[in-house]
Every structure is written in structure tokens, then in C-alpha cells.
Structure 1
Amino acid sequence: MSVAAITETRQYLTFKLDEEIFAVDVAKVREILEFTTITKVPQTPGFMRGVINLRGSVVPVMDMRLKFGMPVTEKTVNTCIIVVEVNHEGETIIIGALADSVQEVFELEPEQIEPAPRIGTKLNTEFILGMGKHDGQFIMILDIDRTFTSDEIATAGVVAGEAA
């Protein structure tokens, strides 16, 4: 999806990773959980912290800081898991996204969102839907369906299936 595809006002949930603020379409968010015990799964990518039990379902948890090349997320009173729905090849995959803290939900008009900056050819910014501005601050709006590669989603699906 591109910024041009955003034609109506949408609500976004903002969250912090380090000092940066990111946002995801509220329609993709199932729930927000307090930090809980994450069971490690061997031989998974470094940013995949493990799995949690969510009312009997196994949900893979991805450390969004590690995914974006930041230091590992440290557990604090504000650390949380944002449970999101990711569309992958026509299937909905449930993933937990570990974040430093959740900020707020607010609306952005299409004209308040600018396309993601093009930063050379080596850096993949496909997962950034656009840049929003709220309260004088830039917010990176994620296209959660493109944040993880097919291989990463496949690994998450296998881990959730095997651990069940």
C-alpha cells in the first residue's frame, strides 16, 4: 500500500522504540498486552524473542527494536506487546510486536501523511507506509503487512504451529 492509497482519515496507534515514534493502523491491532514471560524458541532469527500463550494460542513475539537495528528491548514498567494481524499470502497471521511503550491513538488525515523518504537503493523502506506529523513530531507509519519478510512470517508461522 502506498500513501496514495490512503484516501480517508484513519486512526493510528503510536508506540515508542528507543526515542523514535512509530505508528500502525488501529485496524491491524488486536490488543495490547503487558510484558509477560516469553518462551524462547531455538534457531529462530535474533529479533524473534520467542512465543507467548494468548488464551491457548501460541503467538510469536518479535522485538521491533532488533528488527529495526536498535539495541534489544529492555523490560520496563511500560514495555508491552502489541498483538497485530499481518496479512501474508491471503492468510492472517497473529504476531506480537514488542515495544518500549504505547503512546496514544489518534487520527491522521491523508494530507497529513507524506511518502516515506527514499534513502538510496541499499536501504529497504518498503515497510514504511509514510511519515505522519503529530504534535510537531514525525511519526513513521508502518505497513505492518510488509514489515516482516515472507521468510520471517513463514518462520513465525512454523514456530507458532510447532509450539502449539
Structure 2
Amino acid sequence: MMSGAAEGQYVTFGLGDETFAAPVGLVREILTYQTPSRIPNGPPYLLGLTDVRGRGVPTADLRIRLGMAPVEPTLNTRILVLDIPVEERILSLGLVADRVYEVTGFAAEEIEPSPDIGVKWRSDYISGVVRRSDGFVVLIDLARLLSTTDAAMLESADMDSAA
């Protein structure tokens, strides 16, 4: 079985000059950026908890997780609140993006397999790429990006906030 991206609707968002996409079915909502409340002893990419309708949601800086340089938030910075299936459970996570572009559909024939070379980040986080006239859209595999260790740590941060 090939673990590639499926055709369907995606939310496209930008980090620096790169365009990424996540399946629209995972995106619960898109929030204007607010500074998350810090969590002590978290990994560098975990910014803290964001209040989403009275619940603390662990919020990660995808730039740092992908090895990109962090940047200061701007008026365009957004937090994508995602519900990501990880193993047997659903992990709620906020992902900081420099900007959100659109919801768009990708057909199966448009999605190319993840390249093995010439990419700045580990290709196992990429479920596919879509070629556009202005470059590529990287379809990110959020469940694989968040390794089991990350998921357990984020879930415990979520539990701590619920207490």
C-alpha cells in the first residue's frame, strides 16, 4: 500500500516562500494568531496552549518543526486548529502558519509522490507534491510529522490543561 496523499479538498498555507497543504477534513477552524500560553519543558517547536472555545489546544510552530527559522507573527499569521488521527485517538493541535491561502481541490493525477532529494526537510513528512505554475504545493503528512513521542507529549500537555 502506498502511503500517498489522497485526492480531495486541501487548505493551502504558507511558511516563508513554501506552500503547504493539509486535508480540509482535518482542519477544525482557522484562528487569527494569538500568543499561546507557554508550557514549561516543552520541545522548542511547541509554543504553548491556545484557548480554543474554552479548551487549551497545544500549539506548534511548524517552521521550527521543519527546521526553518522562526519568524515574528504578522497580521497574516494564523493558527490552523487541526484534529489529527494519531494511532487510536484524535489529537487536537494548533499549527502556526505565516498565512492561509485557500481551500482547493487536488485530483489524484495532480499529486506526485514525495521527492527523495532536493528538499530542505525530511521527505517522510511529505505525502505528495502538486506542481503549479508558480512552484509546488507540499502535501504534509501531519500524523507522520508528529511522531508517537510528539503525540504522547502533546496529549499530556492537552490533559494538563484540562485538569
What is the TM-score when the length of structure 1 is the normalising length?
0.91
Query: What SS is found at the alignment partner of 1:41?
Result: coil
* Rounded Cα–Cα distance in structure 1 between residues aligned with 2:68 and 2:134: 24
Of 96, 99, 102, which aligns to 2:100?
A: 102
CA shift for structure 1 position 37: 2.7
Give 1:134 deviation, angstroms.
3.0
* SS of structure 1 residue aligned to 2:139: strand
Kindly state the Cα deviation for residue 74 of structure 1 after the two structures are TM-superposed: 1.4
The 2-side partners of 1:108 and 1:52 are apart by: 30
Is the CA contact (8 Å cut-off) linking 1:73 and 1:99 kept in structure 2? no
Q: Secondary structure at the match of 2:25?
A: helix
Per the alignment, residue 90 of structure 1 pairs with: 88
1:143 offset after TM fit, Å? 1.4
C-alpha displacement at 1:68, in angstroms?
A: 0.6
- Between 130-139 and 152-161, report the one with greater CA deviation: 130-139
- Name the counterpart of 1:57: 55
DSSP-derived class of the 1:31 partner: strand
Q: Distance in 2 between matches of 1:154 and 1:119?
A: 30
Kindly provide the amino acid, as one letter, of the partner of residue 90 in structure 2: T
Q: Is the 8 A contact 1:15 1:103 kept in 2?
A: yes
Q: Distance in 1 between matches of 2:13 and 2:56?
A: 23
CA shift, 1:90, in A, is 1.2
Instruction: Report the Cα offset of residue 119 of structure 1.
Output: 3.2
Are the structure 2 counterparts of residues 66 and 93 from structure 1 closer, same or farther at C-alpha, using a change threshold of 3 Å?
same
Superposed displacement of residue 145, structure 1? 1.5
Residue of structure 2 in register with 1:47 after alignment: 45
Q: Match for residue 163 of structure 1? A: 161
Offset, 1:25: 0.7
The residue that corresponds to 1:73 in the other structure is: 71
**TM-score normalised by structure 2 residue count:** 0.91
Q: Name the counterpart of 1:2.
A: 3
Q: 1:51 deviation in Å? A: 0.4
Any gaps of 5 or more consecutive residues in structure 1? none
Match of 2:35 in 1: 37
Cα RMSD (Å) = 1.6
Residues 31-56 of structure 1: CA distance to partner in whole angstroms, max 9, x if unpaired? Answer: 10000131011100000000011112
Taking the aligned partners of 2:56 and 2:87, their CA distance within structure 1 comes to: 20
Give the Cα–Cα distance (whole angstroms) in 1 for the partners of residues 58 and 156 of structure 2.
10
Which digits, 9 at most, give the CA deviation of each residue in 1:58-87, with x for residues without a partner? 100000000011111311000010011111
Overall identity of the aligned pairs, in %: 35
